[in-house]
Amino acid sequence: MKIVSVIATTALLSLGTLSAVAQDDTQTQGSGADSAFSVIDQNGDGSIDKDEAKNSGISDRRFESMDSDGDGEVTQSEYEGQGSGSGWQ
C-alpha cells in the first residue's frame, strides 16, 4: 500500500511540473513574426544586419527592400511592416 501511495504522489507531482512547464512555454511564445525575427536576429541586438540575413538565406536585394530607412539594419518594426513576416525569402 505504501508503494502505491508513493507512486501516486510522484505521478501527481510530475503532472504539476508538466503543467507549469507548458504554461511557461505558452507565455514565452510570441507571434510567428516575433519568433522568426528572433531566430534571424542571431546576436539578439534587436535588429537584423546583412550577415544575419545572409546566414538565414535572405538575398541582399530582399534585405535592402526591407531596410526602409537604409541604415543597413532591419528593425522589428521594419520586419513586421512587410506583411506576415514570412515573405523574407
- Of 61, 39, 68, 34, nearest to 52 by C-alpha is 39
Provide the whole-model pTM. Answer: 0.56
For the record, the C-alpha cell of 33 comes out as 513574426
Task: Tell me how far apart the alpha carbons of residues 35 and 32 are, in angstroms, rounded to a whole number.
Answer: 5
Using the structure block, give the residue that is written with the C-alpha cell 507565455.
Answer: 27
pLDDT tens track, the chain, 89 positions: 667 565 655 554 554 443 444 444 444 445 666 789 999 999 999 999 999 999 999 999 999 999 999 999 999 999 988 644 444 44
Q: Quick check: helix, strand or coil at residue 31?
A: coil
